[in-house]
Amino acid sequence: MQANVMEMDLDRGGFHFSLPYTLGGWILWGIGLALGLAGLVISLLLSAMGFLLMAFASPGSLEAELKKMRVGAQPQEVLEAKAREGGTEVTSWWLGMRTITPSNDANDWILPAPGPAVWNNAAPYDEDEGGQPIAEHPHKVGTPQPATISGFGLWALVSGISAIVGMYMLLDAPPEQIETSDPVIFLVLGAVIMLILGVMGFFKNRMNKQMLDTPTSLIRSVAVGYPELVGQVRPVGEGSMSVDVGHASHRRVERVVAYRWTHEVYRCHTVRNDDGSSSEKCNWDEVESQKGELPFILHDGTGGLKIETKTFKRRDWGQQIKRWESNHDNNIGRELFGHIASQLLHGGRIKKHRWTVWALRLGDPVYLLGNTVSRTDAEIDAEGMVRSKQHQLLKVVGEDAPGVRAEIRRGTELSNIGRMRSGIEMVAIPFVIMLGFIGLFALI
């Protein structure tokens, strides 16, 4: 299966017409197509909304192939175990309690990774048997290159053109058919939204280019500096921890080295409408959150390197690993206090609770770019490091340098770049559409 990845075309070139590969994606894409075609008859502004839906339903240029590769490469027993864990489990219909576990984890391994049974716990910093990099290391599979324009960029551009032409037709209509203020509001709103998306895309693209342009180092030959590393989370020192999400033991997550969880409540208020009637307005409010981390060993098969997780400011643990929902907080004391405090401080009625956790666990894949620094003699002696092996005398901290932004992400380089959008799609297209909206002000 690794040979298939190496034979796969990881350079998507200038254009790749990406299509959805999930049922939900196809449904959203189909709704967008229907709106887009209907808008050609009714209004181009409706088409713009439809084509925008198609854009967000279109995956990255490599996503579908990598999803197929993940399914084909993982052992059947692993796939079956994940299928059993994924989905929604109703634990109490009466109390409205259910557990939601994503069945498709885009940040997980694509190719099989070494399991705990083959880890060298006696000498965790030493190379694995054979000393070869793990199967998904960039030294084996290469660095993918996303398409300059994918389905996302195509439909986003078509959506922008439709919006600009639709606004032009609206502004060019006889004055008695429109209110002059309405088009102005839409123009300003559209230009501001595109500006925000373009600025956000600029910073996101800068991080992506750093990932694409920085060569990945092997841990056994790493030196002091700012290397890019890919490997597997393995325990060091304190090992791992168990996290009780929302302080409840029945929401425990095991084998964790870094985490973040939130507790939200679904709060409803009665509001008075302009016509004198009343209605209920509800939204999710975060009432509590917690995060923590431990150092861990990043192992790429050629050796292990200590990672000081807490020193990284930019961290991304991928999608949530689990969510719990309930009509009530399971801790009666917390429920009563939380409910009364919420009534006094914020008002409204709490109808639901939900707890969501994101985590980095033992065995997970990790991509990082950080500062490799020397360990102290006390650290080296405490862990019994072999002084003749350079990587055992170093550790990684999340310090920036000029032109280098330290970051740590769950997932390998392959899985992270597989979902990447190009700079043209994230920066150029929003700014072009923004200039189109600004140009329409000449018609006002």
Tens-place pLDDT, residues 376-396: 988 888 888 888 888 899 999
Edge-to-edge strands of the sheet including 315-316?
Answer: 315-316, 407-410, 365-369, 228-234, 296-299, 304-307, 394-397, 371-374
> Is 37 a domain residue?
no
153 φ, ψ (degrees, to nearest 5):
-65, -40
pLDDT confidence of residue 1? 47
Residue 354 lies in a domain: yes
- pLDDT mean over 4-8: 55
Is 50 exceeded by the pLDDT of residue 370? yes
- Strand partners of residue 356: 262, 323
Q: What residues contact residue 207 under an 8 Å CB cut-off, 6+ apart?
A: 314, 405, 407
Give residue 344's pLDDT: 41
Whether 124 is in a domain gets the answer yes
Q: Is the pLDDT of residue 80 over 70?
A: no
User: Is residue 278 a part of any domain in this protein?
Assistant: yes
Looking at the predicted structure, is the pLDDT value of residue 3 above 50? no
Nearest to 235 by CA among 311, 299, 303, 292: 299
Q: Is there a contact between 365 and 113 (Cβ–Cβ < 8 Å)?
A: yes
Instruction: Give the pLDDT mean for 214-230.
Output: 92
| pLDDT over threshold 90, residue 196 | yes
pLDDT of 181 higher than 90: no
What percent of the chain lies above the pLDDT cut of 70? 86
Instruction: Please state the rounded mean pLDDT for residues 20-36.
Output: 92
pLDDT in tens, 242-265: 999 999 898 999 999 999 999 998
In DSSP terms, 353 is beta-bridged to: 265, 326
**Could you say which DSSP state residue 401 is in?**
B
- Domain span including residue 243: 2-19+58-443
Number of separate domains in the chain: 1
- Quick one: tokens of 164? 């600009």
Given a contact cutoff of 8 angstroms between Cβ atoms, the answer to whether 330 and 249 are in contact is: no
Q: Does any domain span residue 31?
A: no
Beta bridge partners, 358, equal 260
Q: Over the stretch 142-165, which tens digit does the pLDDT of each residue have?
A: 888 888 899 999 999 999 999 999
Q: For residue 396, is it within any domain? A: yes
Q: Which of 46-60, 206-220, 343-357 shows the lowest mean pLDDT across its residues?
A: 343-357
Checking if the pLDDT of 70 tops 90, the result is: no
Per-residue pLDDT reduced to its tens digit, 423-443: 899 999 999 999 998 988 876
Asked if the structure places residue 350 within a domain, the reply is: yes
Over residues 309-354, the pLDDT tens digits come to 999 999 999 889 999 998 877 665 554 555 545 444 566 788 889 9
Mean pLDDT over 363-368 rounds to 94
